[in-house]
Structure 1
Amino acid sequence: MRSRSAVATTSTYQERWTVPWWGWLGAVAVALLLAAEIHLGYGGLRSWLPYVVFVPLALVAVAALSRITVAVTDDELHLDDAHIPRRFLLAAEALSGDARRDALGPELDPVAFVVHRPWVQGLVRVYLDDPDDPTPYWIFSSRDPEALLAALDLPLPAPE
């Protein structure tokens, strides 16, 4: 009897949105200021407790912000925990400048799927055609939008 092995899907593109060094520094600075404020109100050993609590908590929070990944496989587009089969992807475009601002502001559809981080400058919008899902498009940050679009291999959206 032959055993069946799982078919591995290959990733054609993958990126991780890590927080830059200044984000880590800012989080620690805020935690230290908050701990110092509480420290001033207490004496003795318990005055150091806020430092023990707030600094690691700030580091865990920033690490959680650094866990988001974007991946394109042969079959799906993955964005953090969300994924969609590539057969439902219609078109894709990279946005920058005024188009980026408008896409995240006045043009944003209320039912769109948005995952944006301000420290990641690129932005990609992928239009969907899923009859069971009312989401018109996904809009998300990307460190290298052109490489992501090349991996998706989708046409540009039709001009309106």
Structure 2
Amino acid sequence: MPDYRERLWPTPRIYVATLLLIPASILVLAPVSMPAGIVTGVVLYLALVGSLAMTAPLIEVQGGRLRAGRAEIALTVVGEAVPADEEQARVERGTGLDARAFLVIRGWIKPVVRIPVVDAADPTPYWLVSTRRPKELAAAINRSRRPDVQESGA
């Protein structure tokens, strides 16, 4: 059983907004063929919904490893995870972002967790991961880390 597991599905608002593909296709193709516009709009919408569902990354803490999307890292080489909500999350994703950081962020999910990488051989300073439950993810990471890696006060 994983210590933490979350799929970063798009919000329902994203699916509703993408419905605009259907009338847009109808408007473009109506002068040529109304049925072609309807069919094209529905096919485009279904393709977009399918791609959003298929590309929703999985965030998982299990067996001493953190998996974020297609990437994995051993929790023995990470520091203390720090959750960020509201204003701090905006800073983490914006002006406070290090260009070398590894990102698994989604625009429709505001909170993030910052996970420092303490491996001196790794050029990535930290991972920044979107999550709807930042405190739970940070707690799962911090519980799963090896005790000899934990930092004092950082």
TM-score, length basis structure 2: 0.83
Q: Output the CA distance in 2 between the equivalents of 1:91 and 1:41.
A: 60
Amino acid at match of 2:11: P
8 Å CA contact retained: 1:93, 1:156: no
The answer for the alignment partner of 1:3 in structure 2 is none
Establish whether residue 87 from structure 1 lines up as the match of residue 54 from structure 2. no
Q: 1: distance between equivalents of 2:97 and 2:74?
A: 23
Q: Which ranges in structure 1 are unaligned for 5 or more consecutive residues?
A: 1-9
Q: List gaps (5 residues or longer) in structure 2.
A: none
Alignment of 1:70-149 (within 5 A): 70-149=59-138
Partner of 1:152: 141
Larger strand proportion, structure 1 or 2?
A: 1
- In structure 1, the partner of 2:4 is 13
Tell me which stretches of 4 or more aligned residues in structure 1 moved more than 3 Å: 44-49, 154-159
Aligned pairs, number: 148
Rate the CA distance shift 1:42–1:152 in 2: closer, same or farther, 3 A: same
* Greater C-alpha radius of gyration: 1
1:116: Cα distance to partner?
1.3
Distance, in Å, in 2 between the alignment partners of 1:124 and 1:133 is: 19
Q: Secondary structure at the match of 1:26?
A: helix
- RMSD after superposition: 2.2
